[in-house]
Amino acid sequence: MTQELTSPSPAPQAPAPHRGPGWWRDAVIYQVYVRSFADSNGDGIGDLRGVCGRLPYLKALGVDAVWLTPFYASPQADGGYDVADYRAVDPLFGSLDDARDLIGAAHDAGLRVIIDIVPNHTSDRHPWFQDPALARERYVFRPGKGERGELPPNDWESIFGGPAWTRTDRGDWYLHLFAPEQPDLNWDNPDVHAEFAAIMRFWLDLGVDGFRIDVAHGMVKAPGLPDIGHGEQARLVGSQVLPFFDQDGVHAIHRTWRRLLDEYDGERIGVAEAWAPSAERLALYVRPDELHQAFNFHYLRASWDVTELRGVIDESLAAMRPVGAPATWVLSNHDVVRHRTRLGGGLDRARAAALLMLALPGSAYLYQGEELGLPEVTDLPDEARQDPSFFRANGQDGFRDGCRVPLPWSGDLPPYGFGSGGSWLPQPADWAPLTVEAQTGDPGSTLELYRTALDLRRRLPGLGDGEISWQPAPEGLLAFRRPGVLCTVNTLGRAAALPLPGKPLLSSAPVTIDGASAVVPGDSCTWWAI
């Protein structure tokens, strides 16, 4: 008899088990890009009260923690990654009381809260940078080259395009690895260390459960700030240690932060946003006396190909094993093209990729909207764009507004329940079927697929942390065992037959069972009970 499994199977009803020590080792952490999540006051910009109002949604989705992108006081030259006051909430996003309320309400709902901290640079409006005497000590100033100092001190380029140096009215130059409004701090100065320790204590005292550390690989620069070589930076970035990224000296800073985190109860964590040239170098950030997790951008960069996927999964697990840290997995965030679009296979492939990720051992990061299957918005008008990298790269590449379009919650027309006053980036006219409202309760929806997967992940003992064991699979397919589950992935654009692996638990697309064999659709992932 042929039997078809509709996707997903209904969620079991019993309460989820309590999560004990080491909560972060297999946690599913949901990234809230505050500006685009939910707007409580109708100004078109998401805010902390908006997040607070949607906590029941996050709880029902089944995540363990939320990571909030920066909501500090900021001129918003880089979406808040240009901080003017690390102890204040920008009025755009609310108040300190709102932050306190949000942390409390999240905890009441059983959700942990991780906030972003930005230690590599501040805003140029930060009081330290505004005071020329202080600035010279606490940022990276150098005299220019050339007869009259008219040339930058070295050949480094900003990640957003153009030189990494800007000349001041006083004639000297300051370093900014990102926008000119984001001067790099001088981490040779003890005042900088002391200030960041105090900022962390401020937020830990307020109850946050940890920090996502922005540019955790960038604070220390090679002595003498050596040139990289004409045209070399673009070629080497991502594959080599550059004089401004992944210098060994950053690890001493992470060790002090780990000691600080450990002074607090409740397992507060540090997560490195570190772009390291290899999985082995990334593992250095999560040695037992350093941070708890590091984003696995190697995984994010893998294409939808069995050899590449298996390779990066094996490398990631192998690199983490000796340091005892869990691997992490991420498909989308606010800096990259959404994976539904990036992987090139539409919604089917995005759903399959999500189920694959959620079957891997370790901790997974979800980016708001991926659970709705949102695509990248690729046709934003230039006048709507706000990403500084768009302007500095002359619109050629690197722009990130298309993954930051506000979420669709309900209704048929923009702003789809995001707020009552429009949205800071225009939402597509055809997003009505993608709203939370439209997808809730529809067993074929991507939202229900994520909900069921997260629910199963909590219930199947051992599915979070641990190891995987690869199984033989037909060409173009992956198969691996986890405790109680066998996961199959068909990366091909067509259906494939396999010997029936077990009872289907959950599938990103309907599978067909005929006696002792199963047919899995193209671009699909299935979890089988074994």
In the bound complex, what is the minimum distance in angstroms from residue 52's beta carbon to Ca ion?
A: 12
- Return the residues of window 107-136 that contact ligand NOJ according to CB under 6 A: 118
SS3 of 251, please? helix
In 3-state terms the chain splits into helix, strand, coil percentages (rounded to 5) of: 30, 20, 50
Q: Does 39 bind Ca ion (CB under 5 A)?
A: yes
Among 147, 169, 263, 475, the active-site one is 263
Angle at 294 between CA 291 and CA 299, to 5 degrees: 165
CB of 100 to Ca ion, least distance (A): 18
Cβ-Cβ contacts under 8 Å for 51 (sequence gap 6 or more)? 32, 34, 37, 38, 66, 68, 102
Choose from Ca ion, ligand NOJ, none: what does 215 bind? Cβ within 5-8 Å by kind. ligand NOJ
Nearest CA among 171, 61, 184, 140 for reference residue 446:
61
Say if residues 522 and 477 touch (Cβ distance below 8 Å).
Answer: no
**CB under 5 A: which stretch of 34-42, 315-323, 475-483, 505-513 binds Ca ion?**
34-42
H or E, element range at 137: helix 132-138
Question: Could you confirm whether 214 is annotated as catalytic?
Answer: yes
Nearer to ligand NOJ, 291 or 453 (CB): 291
Q: Which of 16, 19, 23, 43 binds Ca ion (CB under 5 A)?
A: 43
Checking 259-267 for CB contacts under 8 A at 24+ apart, the result is 259/289, 260/197, 260/200, 260/201, 260/204, 261/200, 261/204, 261/210, 264/204, 266/209, 267/21, 267/22, 267/23, 267/24, 267/209
Q: What is the DSSP string of 277-288?
A: SSHHHHHGGGST
Spatial distance between the Cα atoms of 129 and 126, rounded to a whole number of angstroms: 5
Among the listed residues 24, 33, 37, 81, the single contact to ligand NOJ using CB under 6 A: 81
x/- track of binding to ligand NOJ for residues 170-199 (CB under 6 A): --------x---------------------
Partner whose footprint covers residue 188, from ligand NOJ, Ca ion, none (CB < 5 to 8 Å by kind) = none
- Rule CB under 5 A: is residue 47 a binding residue for Ca ion? yes
The 10 Å Cβ neighbour count of residue 259 is 11
157 vs 335 by CB, closer to ligand NOJ:
335
Tokens 């990234």, located at residue: 31
C-beta of 57 vs 264, nearer to Ca ion: 57
Beta bridge partners of 72: 89
Comparison of 46 and 402: residue with beta carbon closer to Ca ion: 46
Residue 208 Cβ vs Ca ion, minimum distance, rounded to whole Å: 21
Is the dihedral angle over the CA atoms 280, 281, 283, 284 positive or is it negative?
A: positive
Q: How would you classify residue 291: left for phi > 0, otherwise alpha for psi between -120 and 50, otherwise beta?
A: beta
> Least Å distance between CB 336 and ligand NOJ?
9
- One residue of 26, 39, 47, 78 binding ligand NOJ per CB under 6 A: 78
> Distance between CA atoms of 347 and 367, rounded to whole angstroms?
16
Q: Taking CB within 5 to 8 Å according to partner kind, which of ligand NOJ, Ca ion, none is near residue 45? A: Ca ion
Sites for ligand NOJ among residues 202-221 (CB under 6 A): 214-215
Coil, helix or strand at residue 270: strand
- The single residue of 90, 98, 124, 214 carrying the catalytic annotation is 214
The number of residues that bind Ca ion (CB under 5 A) is 5
13: CB partners within 8 A, 6+ apart: none
φ, ψ (nearest 5 deg) of residue 279: -65, -35
Smallest gap from Cβ 459 to Ca ion, in A, equals 37
Q: Which of 43, 101, 157, 335 binds ligand NOJ (CB under 6 A)?
A: 335
Q: Please, are residues 137 and 235 in contact by the beta-carbon 8 Å criterion? A: no
* Partner interacting with residue 137 (select from Ca ion, ligand NOJ, none; CB below 5-8 Å by kind): none
41's contact among Ca ion, ligand NOJ, none, with CB below 5 to 8 A by partner kind, is: Ca ion
* Partner from ligand NOJ, Ca ion, none contacting 43, C-beta within 5 to 8 A by type: Ca ion
Does 45 interact with Ca ion (rule: CB under 5 A)?
yes
Query: Using CB under 5 A, which of the segments 36-44, 224-232, 296-304, 383-391 binds Ca ion?
Result: 36-44
Query: Can you tell me which of 3, 6, 41, 517 binds Ca ion, judged by CB under 5 A?
Result: 41
Q: How far is the CB of 215 from ligand NOJ (least distance, A)?
A: 5
For Cα atoms 289, 291, 297, give the angle at the middle one, nearest 5 degrees: 135
Name the site residues for ligand NOJ (rule: CB under 6 A). Answer: 78, 81, 118, 178, 214-215, 273, 334-335
The residues annotated with a catalytic role in the active site are 214, 263
Q: Which positions touch Ca ion (CB under 5 A)?
A: 39, 41, 43, 45, 47
